[in-house]
Amino acid sequence: MIQILKGDICYSTDRNTLITVPDGFLVWENGLCTGVFDRLPDQYSRLPVEDCTGHLVIPGLTDLHIHAPQYAFRGFKMDLELLEWLNSSAFPEEAKYADPDYARNAYSIFVNDMRKSATTRACLFATLHLPATELLMDLLEESGLETFVGKVNMDRNCPDYLCEESAEASAAATIEWLDHISGKYVHTKPILTPRFIPACTDELMTRLAGIQKAYGLPVQSHLSENPEEIAWVQELVPSSASYGDAYDQFGLFGGDVPTIMAHCVHCPEDEAALLKKRGVYIAHCPQSNANLTSGAAPVRAFLDQDQKMGLGSDIAGGTSLSIFRAMAEAIQVSKLRARFTGDGSRPLTMEEAFFLGTKGGGSFFGKAGSFEEGYECDILVLDESRIPHPQKLSLKERLERYIYLSGEDWILHKYVKGAKLF
């Protein structure tokens, strides 16, 4: 089935190249992009065209790191650093998902907002609770979004009310979850989710590595977010050369396994080299890293190293679901980082930030986040009606403006893999 949409089309081919096609035609067939044309090729001339003339049309955005249960408490108790915040805010709040009624209420609000947002693909942390995690997956499957969802593993250094009783129990619950959802979803996939090294015993990590191999799962976790956390990891895994090496010792740091590590704010050189060597994705979460006083990741260095990288909202360390806002904030914190370190590094450009939020993160899902031939066709038609302007602007100016100014649900139409959500 061939479909055609007309509008002011913008997409990235690489991090320095923003393609803009005013009054262009985006063509896709069975969910895959055929291409973008400034005039409609003759062979399509008899097909209907979805007319979005005058509206910006861009690829869907990818959120590489988000805690679904934390959406319910985003935006308050923010005057704390990571470890204090986990204990006084994140853990007690996540414990509430033991109650399926609370989970349904909270996750319904979350998935409804995700559906309306600019995000078409996301990698999510759930909680350790199986019924709530499956409920989240049910809701996400209905939403039409493409997601990876992880039941969280955590068996140490957590409060009793939110701690699995042993490595064995945590591993068994994970297998129970995986077997129970096997074959149930089309759009919603499981991802192995050890919370972070401080919350997972060596035995649990070893068992999870076994489950990863047996089920061929991708992996997501946290890396080098906060200096105290990093020092703690060094105590907990004294044989590790770095925080990343601690994951690597258990075989849970990329290589053949698609892996995302969130934050990477304070990576020493050898850890950055290991990220690169193992092809691990960095989920850059600028808002969260500011809110939790973590810092600002060295994104320019990561780009120079040609690391795999995308953006994350990190709800509720971050408060905003919008990956557009993450783009603006990635630029802003890169500027503050450059000013404070005085290292002369060039701040992120608008083209680079847009790339990270589209094709950069999208590539974790395969060919996603662009309109190049063969890409899975996720489309956003943007609503600029709330930001009137006294003059004619170029497409690039309009896109930059939208990145800085848009609200969370200023989306007119949204397609995932070529299918219209609204």
- Residue 335 touching a second copy (CB under 8 A): yes
- For residue 271, give the H/E element and its range: helix 269-278
- Residue 47 touching a second copy (CB under 8 A): no
Closest CA to 10 of 2, 1, 22, 20: 20
- Is residue 187 packed enough to be buried (19+ CB in 10 Å), middle (13-18) or exposed (0-12)? middle
Closest CA to 145 of 181, 187, 116, 175: 187
Helix (H, G, I), strand (E, B) or coil at 93: helix
- Residue 294 touching a second copy (CB under 8 A): yes
User: Contacts with a second copy in 354-393 (CB under 8 A)?
Assistant: 387-391, 393
Q: Which stretch binds a second copy (CB under 8 A): 168-176, 190-198, 303-311, 340-348?
A: 340-348
User: Contacts with a second copy in 4-33 (CB under 8 A)?
Assistant: none
Helix (H, G, I), strand (E, B) or coil at 391: coil
Tokens read off for 116: 């309306």
- Residue 102 touching a second copy (CB under 8 A): yes
Q: Which stretch binds a second copy (CB under 8 A): 105-113, 161-169, 240-248, 371-379?
A: 105-113
Closest CA to 303 of 241, 228, 225, 356: 356
Helix (H, G, I), strand (E, B) or coil at 121: strand
- Work out the number of other CB atoms within 10 angstroms of the CB of residue 405: 14
Cβ at position 159, least distance to a second copy in Å: 19
- Residue 293 touching a second copy (CB under 8 A): yes
Cβ at position 312, least distance to a second copy in Å: 16
- Residue 170 touching a second copy (CB under 8 A): no
- Residue 59 touching a second copy (CB under 8 A): no
Task: Pick the closer one to a second copy by CB: 189 or 401.
Answer: 401
Residue 276 and residue 282 in contact, taking contact as beta carbons nearer than 8 Å: no
- Residue 403 touching a second copy (CB under 8 A): yes
Binding site for a second copy (CB under 8 A): 72, 74-79, 102, 105-106, 109, 287, 290-296, 319-320, 328, 331-333, 335-341, 347, 349-350, 387-391, 393, 396-398, 400-405, 407-408
